[in-house]
Amino acid sequence: MQQAVAQVIHPIFDKTFSEFSYGFRPKRSQYHAVSKLRKYIEEGKRIAEDVDLSKFFDRVNHDFLDRKLLARRMCRRWILESLS
């Protein structure tokens, strides 16, 4: 069930992510990020940011990430019902 829900939810949310986000996204990896960074260096850019969100979900306000937030972004009621 979790995989089925993820397959439906992912395309809805993925298109809202930054184009510079590479972690845990399909068809993107650390190798793609490094390749993009090399391109930026070749273009003369000299500053890069590395942001690690590994602890984000340990500290995020889970009350904010409830079904109301999901409902604002999704119209598939069966998914919300399956999360109950």
Distance, CA of 44 to CA of 78 (rounded, Å): 49
Residues 1-50 pLDDT 10s: 778 878 878 888 888 888 888 888 888 998 999 999 999 999 999 988 88
DSSP character at residue 3: H
Cβ–Cβ < 8 Å for 74, 80: yes
Backbone angles phi, psi at 78, to 5 degrees: -60, -30
What is the pTM for the complete model shown? 0.58
Cβ–Cβ < 8 Å for 8, 76: yes
State the average pLDDT over residues 59-79: 68
pLDDT for residue 82: 63
Cβ–Cβ < 8 Å for 51, 40: no
